Copies of this chain bind each other. A is one copy, B any other.
Amino acid sequence: MLSELERESRTVRRHETLVDEGEPNRLFVLDSGWVYTFIHTPDGRRQILDLHFPGDIVGTNQIAFAESTCGIAAATDGVICPFPKSGLRGVFSKSSKLTALFYTFAMIDHAAVLDRLRATGRMPAALRVLLVLLQCRARLRIMEPSYADAFELPLQQDVIGDMIGLSNISVSNALKQLKEDGLVARQGRWISFPSEERAMTLIDFADHYYEIDTSWFPGPQGAGGEQRIKAL
């Protein structure tokens, strides 16, 4: 059922806007590359709402609305596989277990947003940036466990800043400070955490991908493989 969604595909370029705010909704599977959703403020600034990674279905948290409440843009070059809204109807009507899975994905994404809200509202610049880095790693290592040690971060600093209410300059300063504090190491675009434990406790980081409970899922018990369900 799900693999049928990936029938057609197209490439996207870094910085390309895929969907504008207020346009009709669109759904797609992200095959490769990183993508983000955003809204603009009345004075023209930008807030990034969510990051999406290869394997994600993008747009599911917009299907309840007639028009898209946010825009979508590509952070890197990539490939997307668009599919129609009706493609989801099959999922919701035919498999209640798959529906619960989608619901779970939505809640995990929601939890990530809540963590960023907390950071944006109540934490200093360096810790906000640290949160974004740890969130990226948490998501990436689901697909590729070796990313736990070090991963490539293709985001520009103004993109990071727009996720957590900072300017690109403050992101630069925060990274410098994180390096001096021994919390983050950078080699080119590769990120690692020399004092992983300290970094996580410093911001009370919780990896929501590893706290999933499926006991409430409908149907027979023991779905199995919950840890990697995002992989689809």
Contacts and interface: CB of A to CB of B under 8 A. Distances in A.
Interface in A92-129: 92-93, 96, 99-100, 102-104, 106-108, 110-111, 113-114, 116-118, 120-123
Contacts of A162: 121
Nearest to A22: B206
Given A106-B107, A113-B113, A212 B120 contact: no
A86 interface: yes
Contacts of A66: 211-213
Contact of A65 (B89, B201, B203, B211): B211
B211 A63 contact: no
A111 B99 CA distance: 20
A137 B167 CA distance: 32
A156 to B, nearest CB: 17
Interface residues of A, number: 60
Closest 9 CB pairs of A and B: A121-B165, A93-B218, A47-B118, A64-B107, A66-B213, A64-B104, A92-B218, A41-B122, A45-B122
Given A86-B216, A93-B219, 9 more contacts: A41-B122, A42-B203, A45-B122, A64-B104, A64-B107, A88-B216, A92-B96, A106-B107, A120-B121
Interface of A: 39-42, 45-47, 49, 61-67, 69-70, 85-86, 88-89, 92-93, 96, 99-100, 102-104, 106-108, 110-111, 113-114, 116-118, 120-123, 162, 164-165, 201-204, 206, 208, 211-213, 215-219
